[in-house]
Amino acid sequence: MSGTLIDFDWKISTTLATDSMSQQYTPTMLLTLYYNDEEMHKREAYFEFSPNQLHEFIEKLHTVQDTVRKVVPQ
C-alpha cells in the first residue's frame, strides 16, 4: 500500500470467547485508514489489533517518526 493518507477511523470493541469452563472477553482495536492511491483513487485499509499488537504497532510508529525527524530538516 502506498499513497497519501486522507483520514482514519478507530474503535475499540470486545470479543467473547467461551468454552465449557469459562468466558473470556478480549479487547480489540479496529483501525480504518482512508487514503488515495498512486492514481488518486480513494481506498480503505482495515486493521485489527490485540492489545499487544497495538502496543507493538505504536512502538513502530515512534521508530518511523524518529527516523523521519533525522532525515527531514525542521
Domain range for 54 is 4-71
Q: Are 56 and 29 in contact (CB under 8 A)?
A: no
pLDDT tens digits for range 26-63: 899 999 999 999 999 999 999 999 999 999 999 999 99
Burial state string for 15-48 with b = 16 or more CB within 10 A and e = fewer than 16: eeeeeeeeeeeeebbeeebebeeeeeeeeeeeee
Query: Which CATH number fits the domain that encloses residue 66?
Result: 2.30.31
Average pLDDT over residues 10-33: 87
CA-to-CA distance for 59 and 23, rounded, in angstroms? 30
Query: pLDDT-derived band of residue 10, with 50, 70 and 90 as boundaries?
Result: very high
Residue 24 predicted with pLDDT over 90:
no
Structurally, how many domains does the chain consist of?
1
pLDDT of the residue at 74: 72
